[in-house]
Every structure is written in C-alpha cells, then in structure tokens.
Structure 1
C-alpha cells in the first residue's frame, strides 16, 4: 500500500529538483552525519546477503550489539523504510534495527534486475523473510528477533508470527492490515463518500465500477484504489508529502537516480498482492504463541484502527497490547517516531525480557 501511495506523489519532487538542489545536498549531508554510529559496541553493516537464491540488501544498525534485534518488514509492497533512518535514529539507541529491501524492492531489484526477482510473489517474499530471520539469528548471535510489520509488511508479519513463534520474541503491527476475505466493505464505502463529497466524479465512477469485492481486482486496480484512498484523505496526503516524500528526498542513501530506482521497485512489486484477496486473518487463526501488539494511527483511513482493534480483541497471546497514536493516520510510526519508540520501550521491551525504559531527550 505504501508503494502505490508514494507513486501518486512523484510530482511533489518536481519543484525541488529545479530549485533546491543545494538545500537538498546540505540536508542530506546533515542527515549522513546524524546517521553515524560511533559507540564502542555499535554496529553498522549494510550489504547484500544471498536470500532465496538472489542477492538481497540488508542493513543492520544500532548503538549497542547487546540490545534486542528488531526486524522491520516494510510496506508498499516495494517501499523500504530505510528512507526514514534520520527520523528513527533514536530507535537505534535501544534496538539493533534491521531493514531489508525485499525481493523486487530498491537495492535488491537494482542488484539482479527485474528478470532476477522471480515475480515477485507473496509466498516467495514470505519464505525470504523466514530465511532473513534465520540469517540474523546466526549473524547476530540471538535466539529470537522482535518482528515489526509496517503497512503491507504487517500482512507478512501476522503469518510469520503465527507460524514461527520459535523465531520471534514478539510481534508488533503498525498500519496493521487485517484481511477478512472481503466481508467488511466499510473502507470502500468511506472512500466513495470522500470522493463524492470532493466532487471527484471520474474517480468515483472508477471505484464504483471496481466494486467492493477485492477478489476481482487486478494488481493495478489495487494500486489505483490505494492511491485514491490516500490522496482523498487530508491527513494521509499531508503525511505523504511532508514525512514520506520529504524523507525520500533528503535520504542520504538515495541519489536522484536512486529515487527513480525506488519508484521502479514499487511498480515492480505490485504483483506481490496478486492472489491475496482471499486472505482471512480470522480463519487463519487468532492464537499467537508470542507477545502480540498493535500500535495504530487513530485517524488511519487505509488500515482503519477499528478493524485492527476487532482482530486484536480476538487474539489470544501470552501478552498483548493495543495503542492508538493520536494525530496520525497511516505512517503513524514515522509521523511520530518518538511516540512509537515510547510504546516499544514501555509495552514491548518488558514483554521480551528487557527493562521498562523511556526514550532519552534529544
């Protein structure tokens, strides 16, 4: 979902390209300095690891190797969260953050090209995630990994946490997607209402023609639907422009050509959603053998907190917790990274064997 939302906003980059390259260079340099890790027990490893038969990009960063390892599953599909590194720099004081460009995304796509991605398909990426986790256990010498699924990454995250409790110390979902095989059509009705109120008759007709049954949608229709869902909501659109596109524009990891490659990865990854319209998280099971948490934007129209809460209420887990992040819709963890970190430290860290803590000022 994140990927299709970003693809709708490429025009936002047009003005800075023509007039603010000097400002961009200054800010990117500042962000690069912010990202330096100089602590004695710190780790900053970035490179390719052979996963699922292809070279895939993995970043491992943190100020103390003894901190819990946190594997973040990015959304999109095809939109790695490495662009948010400067915004989430404080997370690396308390966790070793692993960010992985999934099959078909960004640097992984650039390494072996479109023909070397094998689709990609949902099942392939799910298998890759298990292999990445096992690699991290060996490389970092840990028994279990804290799993954080963000947006479309949370679709993968639920299945990993349910099927492989031996690999994960806890599961945290944010922008949590809940599939119910299409029974709940409230988000579709809400989108129609927003388009009707805005007088977007052409878009309204297109969504009405698609109908609420996601089983019948193509990958391109799902992408178009996500784009309209995001751009028709003022909070999502504002966050997309200021937080998401702003972070990509100022990312020290992405040249101008790299930004283009980032968008190519999102387009290429649309096929991951093929065949997922029948997914039913309730039918798959609400029993989890790991601590289970959902931290959702209170005003999220893409992955509504009401649906996430209904699923959460049915979950049985050793420990569980739910929290709303106010003044946030989709991308809540990156709009308010300080609040998300506080939830990790006060709710999740004690459940995985660490002390209750609060983020440091600054």
Structure 2
C-alpha cells in the first residue's frame, strides 16, 4: 500500500505537466473505411438520481452483442486500464465501460454518501442494463466483473438472469471471511519462507483476521488489511513478478478519456467510496457457496495462479459446487489478482471464445 501511494505521488507530479481535455478517439479501421454502425461515445446518464459516466465503444452496434464491464474497488474505476489492455474486445462487442456511483468520473465530493451501499449499486447496474438493452435493441447483454465487480456481477446473475447472456468473474470474490484468512495464511507463510523478520513481526502481531478484520494490532480492521495487503504485494500474492502498481498508474495518466481533474477525482473516489462501502453490513457478510449455489445462465471464472487477494483455490471450489447450465474455471499461470491487465491477449481471446462460442467447459 505504501508503494501504491508513493507511485501515485510520482504520477501526480508528472501529470502537473501533462493535461488536456478528455475525449475518446474514433473507431479506426485497417482498410480506412468508416461505417455508421460504429460508436465511440462518452456520456453521463442520470441513474437513480446520480450522474454516472459511461464510455461506449464498438465497431458494429447492430450485429455485435453488448458487453458491460464492472470494475473493482469499490470506488476504483479501471476504465483507463480496460481501454488500454482490453480494447481488442471492441471489435467483436459493443463495450460499455462504466464508472460506478462514487468512482472515477462518477465521483463528486457532493455525493450523498448514504447511497454508497451494495443494494444501491445493484439497482444502478440494473437500470444501466435496461438502458443498454433498449438503446441497442438487445434482449440480453454479456457482463464481465473484476474483483468487487465480480461480486456485483453475481448479484446481477442471481437477480436478473433474463437480461444476461453469460457472465465472467475474474479476481472473483466468493466468501470474504474465509478468503481473508487464506490470504493472511499465505502472506505469513511467504514471510517465513523469505525470512523477512519485519513481515513476520507484523503478521504475528496483527493475528489471524476475525470475520475478515484484524483487531489485535490495529484499533480498526481497515489498517490491518492495508498492512497485510502491502506485504501480500511484496510476496507476489497480488501481481505476478511485480511489487508495485507504478506501471498501471502511469498507464492511467496516458488515458485519452481522463483529464487531470478526473485523475485527481479517481484517487479521491477510491478512498472515499471504499471507506464508506466497507461499512455497509452487506459488504462483507456473504458466502456465495451458500447464498448463490445455483444460477440459470452460463458463468465462468478466470483466476490468476498468484492471486491470494481473492484466493483462487476458493474460486475453484465454488465453481465445482455451483450448479449452472454451463460453467468453467480457468487458471492463468502468469497473473495475480488482475488477469485482464496482466495477460490481456490471452484474456481477450478467452472472452471471445466463451461469449461468442460458449459451450460446456470446466478447465
């Protein structure tokens, strides 16, 4: 976490010398031809009383299906990263990048923080899905959810199966209390294996999480989580062969769709919205193995072998137990918690395969 903030400061200094109006480039074609079926649009929608940002891009809005991306956090929009690493999907889908309530370009210090809770974001997503179905004349859409977005996606799969073709969860949240315990155990194990006395001391003093919280070393569970995740990143349980987020922060800096003000808001939103959301009683007290044991549409899970933020063994276990018409579990060997940005080419190819040529899979 300290490395994240250090990198953020560097990026902020650099961005002071680089800013411009945000826009999204037009869809380009290798043959130079243009079509009225393409779309490259940035706009705000009033969703349940709050102005929320969407970016819509695709080569053929008539023939291609709609794909909605649900970012993680909560409050941490990955629109800029998705645009950079996953824009290849715009050829086969009308891709909708959504900055959720209280995230990215949908953040304002004037936001009513009482609306930042799980049920509200599920309701927001439902409204957006209906807007997209009506606008692009599609009976159903596809959805990909990352981290927190993977949980939001599963709620949508459960509540609105008639509006969704299929769902992919990556960095999938399953059962946060058990997941946090596995994350802690992995971090302590790696600290001992690396003979890192500072890390061992921190982990032993904070003790195992109780119901997802570290209470013995820190008065609130939040700072214990921050410290544990800081060491998790150091020991390779967050990203594959990287121990910082500097490259992603610089990539966000170069985004066409985000201005200096947007980037400043991005940081403010990430802290403010997450801080509020985690206080929602519904935020952590769930276990999909009991809460959503059955779904009515194809569901796929893509995990990184090095993901011990949302530990992949727990995701695999859930997939094996889940009853679904079609399901699949896929493990990427050179990824941690963020497969779409760590192995983007392979991820994009698998998305096309699963969503455009779906069939029974369990790999």
Q: Distance in 2 between matches of 1:172 and 1:183?
A: 19
**Could you say if the C-alpha distance between residues 318 and 169 of structure 1 is closer, same or farther in structure 2, counting changes exceeding 3 Å?**
same
Q: Distance in 2 between matches of 1:183 and 1:351?
A: 29
Gaps of 5+ in 1: 353-362
Q: CA deviation at 1:93?
A: 0.7
Out of 279, 285, 288, the residue aligned to residue 286 of structure 2 is 279
Q: CA deviation at 1:234?
A: 3.5
**Could you say if the C-alpha distance between residues 254 and 157 of structure 1 is closer, same or farther in structure 2, counting changes exceeding 3 Å?**
same
Asked if the contact 1:180–1:282 (Cα under 8 Å) also holds between the matched residues in 2, the reply is: no
Q: 1:257 aligns to what? A: 261
Q: In structure 1, the residue corresponding to 2:295 is in which secondary structure? A: coil
Q: 1:233 aligns to what? A: 235
Deviation sequence 1:210-246 (CA, Å, 0-9, x none): 7342268757347525642543333635275255223
Any residues of structure 2 matched to 1:10-49 within 5 Å, and which? Answer: 10-15=5-10, 35-38=25-28, 39-40=34-35, 41-49=37-45
Asked if the contact 1:229–1:301 (Cα under 8 Å) also holds between the matched residues in 2, the reply is: no
**TM, length-normalised to structure 2:** 0.83
Asked if the contact 2:57–2:95 (Cα under 8 Å) also holds between the matched residues in 1, the reply is: yes
Gaps of 5+ in 2: 29-33
Q: 1:359 aligns to what? A: none
Q: Distance in 2 between matches of 1:16 and 1:292?
A: 37
Asked if the contact 2:213–2:221 (Cα under 8 Å) also holds between the matched residues in 1, the reply is: no
Alignment RMSD: 2.9
Out of 254, 272, 280, the residue aligned to residue 268 of structure 1 is 272
Q: In structure 1, the residue corresponding to 2:285 is in which secondary structure? A: coil
Deviation sequence 1:32-61 (CA, Å, 0-9, x none): 88x431441211121111111111111111
Q: 2:86 aligns to what? A: 88
Q: 1:187 aligns to what? A: 183
Q: 2:95 aligns to what? A: 97
Q: Distance in 2 between matches of 1:216 and 1:164?
A: 35
**TM, length-normalised to structure 1:** 0.83
Any residues of structure 2 matched to 1:52-91 within 5 Å, and which? Answer: 52-65=48-61, 66-84=63-81, 85-91=83-89
Out of 123, 141, 147, the residue aligned to residue 127 of structure 1 is 123
Q: In structure 2, the residue corresponding to 1:177 is in which secondary structure? A: coil
Q: CA deviation at 1:315?
A: 1.2
Asked if the contact 1:80–1:99 (Cα under 8 Å) also holds between the matched residues in 2, the reply is: no
Q: 2:149 aligns to what? A: 153
Asked if the contact 1:233–1:301 (Cα under 8 Å) also holds between the matched residues in 2, the reply is: no
Q: 2:114 aligns to what? A: 118
**Could you say if the C-alpha distance between residues 235 and 60 of structure 1 is closer, same or farther in structure 2, counting changes exceeding 3 Å?**
same
**Could you say if the C-alpha distance between residues 230 and 63 of structure 1 is closer, same or farther in structure 2, counting changes exceeding 3 Å?**
farther
**Could you say if the C-alpha distance between residues 56 and 180 of structure 1 is closer, same or farther in structure 2, counting changes exceeding 3 Å?**
closer
Deviation sequence 1:309-341 (CA, Å, 0-9, x none): 000001111111221112111111111111111
Out of 244, 248, 260, the residue aligned to residue 244 of structure 1 is 248
Q: Between Structure 1 and Structure 2, which shows a larger proportion of helix residues?
A: 1
**Could you say if the C-alpha distance between residues 235 and 21 of structure 1 is closer, same or farther in structure 2, counting changes exceeding 3 Å?**
farther
Q: Distance in 1 between matches of 2:160 and 2:336?
A: 30
Q: In structure 1, the residue corresponding to 2:60 is in which secondary structure? A: coil
Q: In structure 2, the residue corresponding to 1:87 is in which secondary structure? A: helix
Q: 1:137 aligns to what? A: 133
Of the structure 1 ranges 82-91 and 150-159, higher mean CA displacement relative to structure 2 is found in 82-91
Q: CA deviation at 1:132?
A: 1.1
How many residues are treated as equivalent by the alignment?
339
Any residues of structure 2 matched to 1:332-343 within 5 Å, and which? Answer: 332-343=339-350
Q: Distance in 2 between matches of 1:252 and 1:64?
A: 22
Asked if the contact 1:180–1:281 (Cα under 8 Å) also holds between the matched residues in 2, the reply is: no
Please say if 1:318 is aligned against 2:325.
yes
Q: Distance in 2 between matches of 1:345 and 1:351?
A: 9
Q: In structure 1, the residue corresponding to 2:85 is in which secondary structure? A: coil
Q: Distance in 1 between matches of 2:51 and 2:224?
A: 28
Q: CA deviation at 1:90?
A: 0.9
Q: In structure 1, the residue corresponding to 2:69 is in which secondary structure? A: strand
Q: Distance in 2 between matches of 1:89 and 1:333?
A: 11
**Could you say if the C-alpha distance between residues 261 and 222 of structure 1 is closer, same or farther in structure 2, counting changes exceeding 3 Å?**
farther
**Could you say if the C-alpha distance between residues 239 and 146 of structure 1 is closer, same or farther in structure 2, counting changes exceeding 3 Å?**
farther
Please say if 1:348 is aligned against 2:352.
no
